[in-house]
Amino acid sequence: MNLKLLICALACLVHYSTADNVGRDIKISGGTPASLGDLPYQVFVGYNLGNGTYEFCGGGLINSEWILTAAHCFEVKKDVSKAFVILGSVSLNTRPVSVKTIITHPNYISDAYNYYDIALLQLSNPVKESASIGFLNLPTFSSPAVGTLMWTAGWGLTQSGIKPTQLLKVQIPIVAQSICVNAFSDGKYNETYFLCIGDGKGKDTCQGDSGGAVVSKVNTTDTRWTVYGITSYGPEGCGLQGNRGAYSRVFNYLDFIKSNAVTSASSTPHHCSKALIVVLIAFALLLNL
């Protein structure tokens, strides 16, 4: 529960509130610290405001170059030179890396319905999987069954302006769509675009957690986590009794992801050139013979 709130606090700093016009509570109520390697896909997505401060979201690494996050994190902030990412760290003590491309979903309209709240960031330099850095699998079905416990995580703040220090993780269940339809009484919640997740008992994500992946290993024997949701929006006040959150339904956006998150040819040409060298050497040997 605390975890969710903590996550909440993280999210608060971020665009979550500006995009949704929902002022979520920024107080952390508690959480479970994540250990390095627990959720190795988790990245910190920052955006320098140019005056020594930054805003941030969470994100999830889906391959060597691309990070899945929320569109509302970048609705007006699209200057790649101001964006940065921290990978493979729970305490944010490793060097930030640069971003070369920001792609928000073309149908995303801020302050409308929050539909299409999904974005992709491309790292300037590809990374490899390691004990602390891992890739997410994309889902092969729309949602785990109602009741399935999902993991999500984020860096929390105790108050605005205080730097986040520790990644917190929380487990929250998939719940029936009708719960969010009723909870978000503005009539905008639509299950095509979202998953409804939350135990309603205090485990929650919050503004700073926006863009973070909601994952499970349901129906997979893969060691990698599968991403089903992206933290998008929630009611005012994080972690309050009865709260549920709306999480972008990743399965609905597979076309967008697969058509954009294409890794550059670096690894393929590398192998090709290796093969080519082998062939050339073989040829040289043959000629010598």
Residues marked active site are found at 72, 117, 210
Q: Cβ 200 to ligand NAG, closest distance in Å? A: 20
Q: What is the DSSP letter of 174?
A: B
Q: Taking the alpha carbons of 76, 80, 86, 92 in that order, is the dihedral positive or negative?
A: negative
Binding mask 120-149 for ligand NAG (x = CB under 6 A): ------------------------xx--x-
The reply to whether 76 sits near ligand NAG by the rule CB under 6 A is no
Please tell me whether residue 218 adopts helix, strand or coil conformation.
Answer: coil
Instruction: Return the number of the residue (5 or 174) whose C-beta is nearest ligand NAG.
Output: 174
Q: Cβ 49 to ligand NAG, closest distance in Å? A: 4
Q: Cβ 257 to ligand NAG, closest distance in Å? A: 18
Q: Cβ 66 to ligand NAG, closest distance in Å? A: 26
Q: Give CA 139 to chain center in angstroms.
A: 14
Instruction: Return the number of the residue (192 or 259) whose C-beta is nearest ligand NAG.
Output: 192
**Of 23, 37, 49, 107, the one binding ligand NAG by CB under 6 A:** 49
Instruction: Return the number of the residue (22 or 218) whose C-beta is nearest ligand NAG.
Output: 218
> Measured between alpha carbons, how far is 228 from 215 in angstroms, rounded to an integer?
6
Contacts of 124 (CB under 8 A, 6+ apart): 97, 98, 99, 100
Q: Cβ 192 to ligand NAG, closest distance in Å? A: 4
Instruction: Give the number of residues in contact with ligand NAG, rule: CB under 6 A.
Output: 10
Helices (H), the chain: 2-13, 16-20, 177-183, 254-260, 267-288
Find residue 46's DSSP bridge partners: 56, 84
Instruction: Return the number of the residue (29 or 114) whose C-beta is nearest ligand NAG.
Output: 114
Binding mask 190-209 for ligand NAG (x = CB under 6 A): x-x-----------------
For the chain, give the number of residues.
289
Name the nearest CA neighbour of 234 among 152, 94, 114: 114
Find residue 55's DSSP bridge partners: 47
Q: By the criterion CB under 6 A, which residues form the site for ligand NAG?
A: 49, 51, 53, 144-145, 148, 190, 192, 218-219
